[in-house]
Structure 1
Amino acid sequence: MSIKDVATTPFDDQKPGTAGLRKPVSRFQTPHYLENFVQAVFDSVPSLKGGRLVVGGDGRYFNDQAADTILRMAAANGVEQVIIGCQALLSTPAAAHLIAQESAAGGFLLTASHNPGGPDGDFGIKFNIAGGGQAPAELTDRIHTRSREIRQYHISDQTCPGFAEIGESRLEDMMIRVVDPVAEHVNLMARCFDFDAIRDWLHNKPRRFVFDAMHAVTGPYAREIFVHQLGLSEDVVRNGQPKPDFNGSHPDPNPHDAHAFLEAFQALPEGEIGAASDGDGDRNMILGRQNGRALVVSPCDSLAVIAANHHCIPALADGLKGVARSMPTSRALDRVAQELGIPCHETPTGWRFFASLLDGGYIRLCGEESFGTSSDHVREKDGLWAVLAWLQILASRDMTVAELLDEHWSRFGRDYFARHDFNLSIEQGQAVMERLSTLVEAGEYRDCPVDRFDYTDPVSGHRVEAQGYRLFTDNGRAVFRLSGTGTRGATLRIYLEQHMPAQEDCRQDMVTVLEPMRALASEAAQLEALTGKPRADQVI
């Protein structure tokens, strides 16, 4: 045994956000920084001692070094067995599935999701609990408390056997199992969907589909599914080789950051459906074609369309029971749930709230406006699952993306939706929130109700407050919140929504329809006066 107790002092910036701890790579490279946080997790989760631990990440810069440190600390903290993806790779949904399948006490996921990578980019680490879901607030609070009082961490000074090849080895008294990061999750997808039906539909027009992995972790998963399982050509998967810096790109599957893919899809004459995923594989973007132009499916519409056509998906064909969306996500899902006669739960942003509802048996399908969708097959959002859900529905209905959307809007109406992001200083962001708080006290702005969103988990009873502010009109809504996924400054996000009834023209210009709500939201929050910005830095 060669276990060392290393003296350390606390850092004051290790409070986990909704998706763990995200910081610039340089911060994680600070001596003892990663070790302190990892030890705080071991100290806060006693079941890890003598238990199993899953480790893997999205392959971004610093992934291998962090995995090596975690394995040596796991051995020093009495973990019986670590299960790690080969080359320390695991998509977030694949890791969640592996935690559940292996009855592990939890897992370390090394990812900053859609944030840029590379030496000058971001790194992240989060702990998912037994069952695969994100750590609840009670646990992240304990981890944070422990990180502020930590005085030593435990680590083996033996050389880690490595994780470049599938197989078994030992470190101290701990077994290390290096597993294929792709196989089990692909097997899970094959149980959720009818691959034969999707394959037959795709092969009618072999070049109707293309997928962009954005040089992120889903490349190997997509190649196995679309090329090897569904028999499509290799060039269907673009940018399929994971790279530590995502080839210098921002691996976020949205129209702004994936503009190169939109342009490539636009230039593909045969393309009927395109899809992309993000850094760690938990987000998705769906593209179609309308009047010869690329059509980006709103993630809010995507979730609602999947719910309305759930009977086409084998794993959901026996019924939904309930659905859920994050509070900023448009209410398109609510309209489907009402027709299906099932509850639609509105939760704060953060997948852990969905995981609680899934564990409690309240829901089977859930999603959020930030391009995340999933079902009860795992306790994380799953980008490839959402893509396959669309392919399954299109194959079953034998429709194009545009045709499916038109049918949906003619049935439920359309919820026009956009997110306006303002990159601000922390002080500016707080000033806007304080302004909105005064409107809540008044109860309205220009006869429009204003409220603050608080939430009580129906499963755990845990309550969280001040999750955002909402301004309502007759058929519209503006939601204001500060994002917790960035690593620098503050991002104010304003979500604009306007419902258009089914009997109206549901193909109107998005910007035109939402402009009155944008102007009202800007005026109510005094954006230009408080931030100096009359318009958003980014619109998604």
Structure 2
Amino acid sequence: MSSQVNQISTKPFDGQKPGTSGLRKRVKVFQQQHYTENFVQSIFDSIEPQGVTLVIGGDGRYFSPETVQTILKIGSANGVAKFIVGKDGILSTPAASNVIRKYKAYGGILLTASHNPGGPDNDFGIKYNVSNGGPAPENVTNKIYEKTKTISSYKVIEAPQVDLSKIGETTYGPSKVEIIDSVEDYVILLKEIFDFPLIQNFLTSHTDDYKVLFDGLHGVTGPYAQKILVDTLGLPSSSVQNCVPLPDFGGGHPDPNLTYAHTLVEAVEKNNIAFGAASDGDGDRNMIYGKGAFVTPSDSVAIIAHWADVIPYFKKGGVKGLARSMPTSKAIDLVAQKKGLEYFEVPTGWKFFGNLMDAGRLSICGEESFGTGSDHIREKDGIWAIIAWLNIIAAANRDSPNKLVGINDILSAHYKIYGRSYFSRYDYEEVPSEGANAMVDHINAALKTGSLNNTTHTAESTGGKFTVSGIYDFEYKDPIDHSVSSNQGQVITFSDGSRVVFRLSGTGSQGATVRMYVERYVAPEAGEKELNGNTAEGLKGLIEVALKLSDLKKFLGREKPTVIT
């Protein structure tokens, strides 16, 4: 059945440049006449959509249903043969990556602003993923951006809206639309990766002394957690909370960290929960938090790498290599060195991991921004990381029949082998762009002149002394496609092995977000007290020196960060 194709005149909008995870703006920006249509048409103008299959899904945030219909109308008019759409327009980002790969789709359009707040006055986002299931590389996103600057019209078909609530296939103009179960394919995938019988046996044997709680933060992963933790692993329904996805995430900030996932932290501490976990709005991030035990994302990915052989997927296929984003602590590097594995330091952005995975050189990787994953898909995966931890805990307890092994036990054992990388991140959100750029210029001036090299700085609060050993701007040459990514973050290193990283983030929707990362390494021979100390105390002096060297408070006009993780 054919439908009439209409050509709609339009004019370019400024600033439709996709960042590391697509285009993110306030909802009201996307609601402007022609704004969303322009960007969607620019995606189709940048690829070859005739006769292909595309996946559509997202985190269900405000303005998603309308945008799904827009994509269908424009995509069909541009020759897309088939759309695979998550029921109600919903697919977690990891699930979408899996669907693209499983059904060999040409790519996918994901409607998400990840961990950013949702609702009519908050954020919306659109990103394009390519055929490997991962975010579009820069050569594609740059092409999309160039199209947005010259667009003069977009095409739509005249057709009634598709009922996104009914699973099944229907004809839509010249295209086909298949509505699929948002959860089913993903659950099948995880069952192929992890030792579900081992996990289930442990959890059902310790229902009283090892409680589990997952907090969906009213993001997309609620139904996934319900299906896996309750329906499959047999945990009680009280083991999940805030698992109904809402367009505004219940008025909260769906970011799984100690600040925004306070509903999890409070419940874990109040109810003596041994294992707590949370995910973000679109399901690609995670936090592991038990009673009195917070696992930093840097430690989390290192521990998963260390324990990889208890996970069937890696026991069968082996671990090809390990990687982290540059700001992430070097904890995973130490695991790679001890196990004789290749390892990589890449810029922030999951697409850099994807190239290494496609080349067969990377299996496990992570970012300090609560993103952890492996080569099972080409996105970070919050639920995957949580089930990986449950697999590890179950295996640790299988091998320890006389003592219940918890999160802190696993952390302490890891530090005794590898040492500890004390690590924290300070986020300064929605600061004036002028001040953020001035701070970058200030650090660059010290880099160019070498004025800080070999200078020693004393932290007044602790008396600790830190000698600057160097400053550099991180640049990455991709070993697979040989592309070069410059200006990825400024790094100040110190003679004791400590380092501080300053980076402007591309995940915000307005203003600038400045992130400061601080890392101090303590060797395993330092002793239990030093290895298991308080993070804030362990980093206090280094943070003081970092703020002084960068003049951050002066440039940003902020005394305190928005979030500390």
What residue number does 1:268 align with?
A: 271
Alignment of 1:129-528 (within 5 A): 129-206=130-207, 208-269=211-272, 271-289=273-291, 294-317=292-315, 318-398=317-397, 399-423=405-429, 424-443=431-450, 445-447=452-454, 448=468, 449-473=470-494, 474-504=496-526, 505-528=530-553
**Secondary structure of the structure 2 residue equivalent to 1:73:** helix
Q: Take 1:532 and 1:51, find their aligned partners in 2: how far apart are those partners?
A: 50
User: Is contact 2:447-2:471 (8 Å) kept?
Assistant: yes
User: Is contact 2:453-2:471 (8 Å) kept?
Assistant: no
Are residues 1:19 and 2:12 paired?
Answer: no
User: Is contact 1:443-1:451 (8 Å) kept?
Assistant: no
Query: Once the 2 structures are TM-superposed, how far is the Cα of residue 205 of structure 1 from its aligned partner?
Result: 1.7
Consecutive unaligned residues in structure 2, runs of 5 or more: 398-404, 455-467
User: Is contact 1:215-1:240 (8 Å) kept?
Assistant: yes
Q: What amino acid does structure 1 have at the position aligned with 2:538? A: V
Please give the TM-score of this superposition, normalised by the length of structure 2: 0.93
Q: What amino acid does structure 2 have at the position aligned with 1:181? A: S
What residue number does 1:45 align with?
A: 47
**Secondary structure of the structure 2 residue equivalent to 1:417:** strand
Query: Once the 2 structures are TM-superposed, how far is the Cα of residue 535 of structure 1 from its aligned partner?
Result: 3.5
Q: Take 2:319 and 2:246, find their aligned partners in 1: how far apart are those partners?
A: 38
User: Is contact 1:161-1:170 (8 Å) kept?
Assistant: no
Q: Take 2:50 and 2:237, find their aligned partners in 1: how far apart are those partners?
A: 44
Please give the TM-score of this superposition, normalised by the length of structure 1: 0.97
Q: Take 2:139 and 2:531, find their aligned partners in 1: how far apart are those partners?
A: 44
User: Is contact 1:444-1:450 (8 Å) kept?
Assistant: no
Moved more, 154-163 or 52-61: 154-163
Q: Take 1:527 and 1:228, find their aligned partners in 2: how far apart are those partners?
A: 49
Deviations 1:294-347 (A, max 9, x none): 321100000110011111111011421211100000001111110011121000
What residue number does 2:71 align with?
A: 70
Q: Take 1:278 and 1:41, find their aligned partners in 2: how far apart are those partners?
A: 26
Q: Take 2:104 and 2:63, find their aligned partners in 1: how far apart are those partners?
A: 28
Q: Take 1:526 and 1:239, find their aligned partners in 2: how far apart are those partners?
A: 40
Q: Take 2:556 and 2:245, find their aligned partners in 1: how far apart are those partners?
A: 38
User: Is contact 1:276-1:284 (8 Å) kept?
Assistant: yes
Q: Take 2:563 and 2:196, find their aligned partners in 1: how far apart are those partners?
A: 38
**Secondary structure of the structure 1 residue equivalent to 2:393:** helix
TM-align CA RMSD: 1.0
**Secondary structure of the structure 1 residue equivalent to 2:425:** strand
Deviations 1:396-430 (A, max 9, x none): 01121110000000111110000011232000100
Q: Take 1:210 and 1:62, find their aligned partners in 2: how far apart are those partners?
A: 30
**Secondary structure of the structure 2 residue equivalent to 1:23:** strand
User: Is contact 1:169-1:177 (8 Å) kept?
Assistant: yes
Deviations 1:54-108 (A, max 9, x none): 0001011111000011011111010000000010010000000100111111100
**Secondary structure of the structure 2 residue equivalent to 1:346:** strand
Deviations 1:176-210 (A, max 9, x none): 00000100000000000011100000111225111
What residue number does 1:537 align with?
A: 562
User: Is contact 1:227-1:234 (8 Å) kept?
Assistant: yes
User: Is contact 2:502-2:514 (8 Å) kept?
Assistant: yes
What residue number does 1:92 align with?
A: 93
Query: Once the 2 structures are TM-superposed, how far is the Cα of residue 534 of structure 1 from its aligned partner?
Result: 4.1
Q: What amino acid does structure 2 have at the position aligned with 1:392? A: N
Q: Take 1:530 and 1:188, find their aligned partners in 2: how far apart are those partners?
A: 47
User: Is contact 1:134-1:352 (8 Å) kept?
Assistant: yes
Q: Take 1:21 and 1:220, find their aligned partners in 2: how far apart are those partners?
A: 26
Moved more, 316-325 or 468-477: 316-325
**Secondary structure of the structure 1 residue equivalent to 2:487:** coil
**Secondary structure of the structure 2 residue equivalent to 1:418:** strand
Q: Would you identify which runs of 4 or more consecutive aligned residues in structure 1 move more than 6 Å?
A: none
Q: Take 2:503 and 2:451, find their aligned partners in 1: how far apart are those partners?
A: 18
User: Is contact 1:478-1:521 (8 Å) kept?
Assistant: yes
Q: Take 1:475 and 1:508, find their aligned partners in 2: how far apart are those partners?
A: 18
Query: Once the 2 structures are TM-superposed, how far is the Cα of residue 532 of structure 1 from its aligned partner?
Result: 3.1
Distance change >3 Å, CA 90–CA 524, structure 1 → 2: same
**Secondary structure of the structure 2 residue equivalent to 1:188:** helix
Q: Take 1:178 and 1:453, find their aligned partners in 2: how far apart are those partners?
A: 43
Query: Once the 2 structures are TM-superposed, how far is the Cα of residue 509 of structure 1 from its aligned partner?
Result: 1.9
Q: Take 2:7 and 2:548, find their aligned partners in 1: how far apart are those partners?
A: 56
Q: What amino acid does structure 1 have at the position aligned with 2:195? A: D
Query: Once the 2 structures are TM-superposed, how far is the Cα of residue 160 of structure 1 from its aligned partner?
Result: 2.1
What residue number does 2:38 align with?
A: 36
**Secondary structure of the structure 1 residue equivalent to 2:524:** coil
**Secondary structure of the structure 1 residue equivalent to 2:79:** coil
Q: What amino acid does structure 1 have at the position aligned with 2:47? A: V
Query: Once the 2 structures are TM-superposed, how far is the Cα of residue 444 of structure 1 from its aligned partner?
Result: 5.9
Query: Once the 2 structures are TM-superposed, how far is the Cα of residue 529 of structure 1 from its aligned partner?
Result: 2.9
Q: Take 2:442 and 2:388, find their aligned partners in 1: how far apart are those partners?
A: 42
Query: Once the 2 structures are TM-superposed, how far is the Cα of residue 391 of structure 1 from its aligned partner?
Result: 0.3
Q: Take 1:174 and 1:420, find their aligned partners in 2: how far apart are those partners?
A: 48
Q: What amino acid does structure 1 have at the position aligned with 2:446? A: L
Q: Take 1:444 and 1:363, find their aligned partners in 2: how far apart are those partners?
A: 38
Q: What amino acid does structure 1 have at the position aligned with 2:260? A: D
**Secondary structure of the structure 1 residue equivalent to 2:525:** coil
Q: Take 1:16 and 1:331, find their aligned partners in 2: how far apart are those partners?
A: 29
Deviations 1:219-254 (A, max 9, x none): 111111011111111121111110111110000000
